[in-house]
Amino acid sequence: MIILHHIDDVRNALESYRKQNKTIGLVPTMGALHEGHLSLIRRCREENDIAVVSVFVNPTQFNNKQDLATYPRNLEKDAKLLDWADIDIVFAPQPEDVYTAEDMAHPFAFDFHGLDEVMEGKQRPGHFNGVVQIVSKLFEIVEPSRAYFGMKDFQQVAVIRLMVREMNFHVEIIPCPIVREESGLARSSRNQLLTKEQKEQASNIYRILRESLSHLPNCSPAQLTDWTVTQINAQDGLEVEYYEIVDGDTLQKISSWDDSSYVMGCVTVYCGQVRLIDNIRLK
Ligand code: PAF
């Protein structure tokens, strides 16, 4: 495994593989790797000749300075895990290696056709511009045949798919299922910031999402939303930022179960200062 920090080194390292028509898989990450990432990474390793993982805490997708400052970072530990996972290339740049001063000064603009006006996009203005900015750069540098993303970031997967269509990238997007702790808590780098007690509190999020399935036949989407938010907020230490029941493709809210055949419940909850997201397929 090699760890590279500069764009040209990554391009040079991949050039000969590309000439040999080898398939290249990419897992973009912000590091602090956990079992959720590792499931993507193992799949990338299995399905491609060359496996590349990027480790980069992308400043342009954080709209909260405190969140960026406290985001866990540990390249040494991540590199060990990636070596065990038999990854070929780790791309671990610094912001100045991928962004010009101009990039950092002016927000990247992308037309999301409304996908950014709901849920994470609404709560974190500019977040998805930063995601598209870095992922499009990574796709241009690595030119992967396949790229792997976790379904915990459900809206991110929809945004990346739109980006691929709009920017004509020749890459297959592989969405991978959410990996959960035994308690049901969705694996996340942010879980490292939770105390033991908070982890127990946070495990109620998925328990309640699952329980909501049994209420679904007797409730409208609006009633199920109210029930879910009330249940989560009743738990010690948890506060819902939003819970939305949406069409899984357009991410627009539904008002009747007949509005869509693919329905997702997407939630963001604060556990203390830690912002956690999760989702469940409702239909
Ligand atoms: O999902 C993430 O960790 C990030 O949003 C990504 C895709 C690596 C872009 O920085």
Rounded average pLDDT over 268-274? 97
Contact 115, 248 (CB under 8 A): no
- Residue nearest atom 5 of ligand 1, based on CA coordinates: 131
Res. 106 pLDDT band, cuts 50 70 90: confident
With 90 as the cut, is the pLDDT of residue 31 above it? yes
Catalogue all structural domains in the chain, each as residue range(s) with its CATH number. Answer: 2-176 (3.40.50.620), 189-281 (3.30.1300.10)
With 90 as the cut, is the pLDDT of residue 15 above it? yes
pLDDT computed for residue 107 by the predictor = 82
Of 264, 185, 272, 199, whose CA–CA distance to 225 is shortest? 264
pLDDT computed for residue 227 by the predictor = 98
Q: Is the shortest distance between the CB of 155 and ligand 1 below 6 Å?
A: no
* CA gap 213, 209 in Å, rounded: 7
Where in the sequence numbering do the catalytic residues fall? Answer: 37
Q: What is the pLDDT of residues 228-238, one digit of tens each?
A: 999 999 999 99
Q: Is the shortest distance between the CB of 30 and ligand 1 below 6 Å?
A: yes
Q: Is the dihedral of CA 206, 242, 112, 261 positive or negative?
A: positive
Q: Is the shortest distance between the CB of 145 and ligand 1 below 6 Å?
A: no
* CA gap 176, 157 in Å, rounded: 10
Res. 34 pLDDT band, cuts 50 70 90: very high
CA of 134 to the centre of ligand 1 (A): 8
Closest atom of ligand 1 to 138 CA is 9
pLDDT computed for residue 89 by the predictor = 98
Q: Is the shortest distance between the CB of 188 and ligand 1 below 6 Å?
A: no
CA of 30 to the centre of ligand 1 (A): 6
* CA gap 113, 175 in Å, rounded: 21
pLDDT computed for residue 105 by the predictor = 84
pLDDT computed for residue 63 by the predictor = 87
- Residue nearest atom 1 of ligand 1, based on CA coordinates: 29
CA of 230 to the centre of ligand 1 (A): 30
Contact 91, 6 (CB under 8 A): no
With 90 as the cut, is the pLDDT of residue 104 above it? no
Q: What is the pLDDT of residues 168-203, one digit of tens each?
A: 999 999 999 999 999 999 999 999 999 999 999 999
Q: Is the shortest distance between the CB of 131 and ligand 1 below 6 Å?
A: yes
Q: What is the pLDDT of residues 52-84, one digit of tens each?
A: 999 999 999 998 899 899 999 999 999 999 999
- Helix, strand or coil for residue 111? coil
Over the chain, what is the mean pLDDT? 97
Q: What is the pLDDT of residues 145-174, one digit of tens each?
A: 999 999 999 999 999 999 999 999 999 999
- Residue nearest atom 2 of ligand 1, based on CA coordinates: 29
The contacts of residue 176 (CB under 8 Å, 6+ apart) are 39, 40, 43, 148, 149, 150, 151
Q: Is the shortest distance between the CB of 203 and ligand 1 below 6 Å?
A: no
Q: What is the pLDDT of residues 81-98, one digit of tens each?
A: 999 999 999 999 999 999
